[in-house]
Amino acid sequence: MMRHFIACCLVVAGGLPARAQQLNSRLYQDSLRTAIAAAPTDSARAVAAFQLSEHLATRDAQQAAYLVSEGLQWAKGSPLAKALHPYYAAVLLSQTDRDAAARLYLQADSLLSPFADSLALAVRSKAWHRYGGLRLFHDDPKQFTDILLNKAIPLARRTGDSSLISKHYLGIGHVFRNQGQHDVADEYMRTALRVLREGHSPPDQLLVTYISLAENSSLWERNDQAPEMLDSARALLAPYPDSYHWVDYYAAESLYFNTAKNWTAALESLGKGIAIAGRMQKRYEQQRLELQQYYALHNLGRYREALTVISYLANQPEMMAVATNRLLVYAGLAETYAAMGNGIAAYEWQKKYSTVSDSLHTSHLRNEISAMEVRYRNAEHQEKIATLEAKNRQAQLASHNSRLSFWLLAVGSMLVLASAVFIYFQYRNGRRLALQKLKDMEQRQMIATSHAMLEGEERERRRVARDLHDGLGGMLAGMKIRLSGMAAGEESGPLDQVIGQLDHSVNELRRIARNMMPENLFKFGLETALGDLCESLSTPATRISYQAFGIAADIPVQTQVTIYRIVQEALANAIRHAHAKEVILQCSQNGDIFFITIEDDGKGFDVPAKEKSPGTGLSNIRNRVHFLKGKLDINSVIGEGTAINIEIHVEADS
């Protein structure tokens, strides 16, 4: 009985795409409220409000709805922020109107698809996860798994967010666990754990994964593996005594004790979890724990207490709304009354149990009948095909009796063969010409790109010459005049001034050398060199934030130099032309794909008009990206800022 009802409870509770609760909810809320108040732009304020609404959706629905409304007002000037709105509105609706929420999740994915930045990709990934989770309420775990594998996970991988990727793998693990395939579930859950550990993800997602692995181990009859996971979860929870995750922890711990037939310890653990769930007004979670409490009481022979618990659950709409739960409650009532010697009551509840069980069986039987009908129709079609083939053979035999028909058939066959040969050669020649044209186009593109790269390098040489002549040359000429005057006795003065000029000259020489070829790139690698570049370009008027994720050290040196030049040009444009006060640079790598995202709050520009003007820094960036066979996407709104997203194919040094 225990394994059956525990598995059914997990079918309803597990695998849903709810956001992992933060370990310190109050701290997380305060950080988002601070972000709203201090946001430099309305679009940033809208994003922070949306994120806080998602966190409060199951805690304070009224406040969450207010934040979604306010966020929409702030998002009016930002296409990306406006496209985020349907997702966060759907999170609210998912508690009351699942069909409307499902439509909004699909709408969010459609509106966000033109945007390639990490925020849009992450929200699209979460939208698909939540949409698939709603399909579980229609008893469609197959579609949920398909959505995670083919929609949510590919989008999450493009963001490089290990926490998001692991959440999807964990969701697939829940589906297989609920289907009783605990070995497959364990494989996906451990994959989620590995992704989290490699990505240094936040502890809340690690905690959820440890608890899920502990539950699956108990259900898999590998109860000896559960304590390790429970200990890891408890260590993460210890600093947060008020965390909601204690409810999930005590549910997993009591499952472990129940599986080990330690009913007394299970009751103690369940009591703690029920108290927390009640205090937080999580009615369904509390009833799940009470169902396990009933089982422990029943196995201890405390039938009257068990009857009180199971009778209470029989009157709770949250528990009884699901057919599998009704089946468990009716079975529990029948067993408990039978154990207490009340055969009449046990018989009545057994009848209700049989009615629900028969309805489920009838549904399965209907599916089997449909499958049999399909097989029958397929067999019938095969029989008709065989009959037609027999008639064709008879017609062919009759045609061979006529000499004229034979020659006509032979001539016709020759004509068909000749036509086929002619078409084949035409197709092959056409394909060869098409391939040649494609190669010519690629060659012209490469020549144009190389020419543009050479022009860019020539401009860079002219700039360096100008810096040497006007900057460093002027400084050195001034020192020469001063030293000549001092040597001739025509001028007197302290040497400190000359030394100061010499220091300025040395610094100017270092600046020019760094612009020509960054020394840190060869000493410490691309990640460090980009960080130094951001630090050198940051000023009191412009703050540059730099984030790097998983950049490999074995990228070819020439590719690293080109990437460095791309970032250098983009940052220079944001500072010199956009007059940005805040610039964010994100660089990440996933396999052979290198991602660059540069966002600023500058004055923005008209992208089509800027691309047509020759000699701009934007054309230098585009030429270098094309040289590396990459993709460039620019989103800019005048007065709002600019976002540049770049994907580059990189190959490790062999």
Q: What is the pLDDT, as a whole number, of residue 8? A: 41
Q: What is the largest CA-CA distance in the chain?
A: 128
CB under 8 Å to 395, separation ≥6 — which residues? none
pLDDT at 98: 87
195 with 166: CB under 8 angstroms?
Answer: yes
Q: Where are the alpha helices (DSSP H) in 14-97?
A: 25-38, 42-56, 61-74, 79-93
- Give the model's pLDDT for residue 417: 79
Note the Cα 221 to chain centre separation in Å: 32
Strands (E), 212-311: none
Q: Are 575 and 583 in contact (CB under 8 A)?
A: yes
Q: Helix, strand, or coil here: 528? A: helix
* Residue-wise burial string across 295-315, b where 16 or more C-beta atoms lie within 10 A, e elsewhere: bbbbeeeebebbbebbeebbe
Helix axes 283-299, 245-259, angle to 10 degrees: 20
**CA gap 154, 160 in Å, rounded:** 10
For residues 327 and 360, the answer to whether their CB atoms sit within 8 Å is: yes
**pLDDT profile of the chain (654 residues), mean per 10:** 43 39 73 91 94 88 93 93 95 89 94 93 95 78 85 91 89 82 89 86 85 91 90 91 88 91 93 90 87 92 94 90 80 92 90 76 42 40 51 59 63 75 76 74 63 58 60 67 69 67 70 65 86 89 92 88 90 89 93 93 86 68 86 91 92 64
**pLDDT (0 to 100) of residue 1:** 43
So what's the pLDDT on residue 465?
55
**Of 311, 130, 540, which is closest to residue 303 (Cα–Cα)?**
311
Residue 401 CA to residue 405 CA, distance in Å, equals 8
Instruction: Provide the pLDDT for residue 416.
Output: 78
Looking at residue 150, what DSSP letter applies? Answer: I
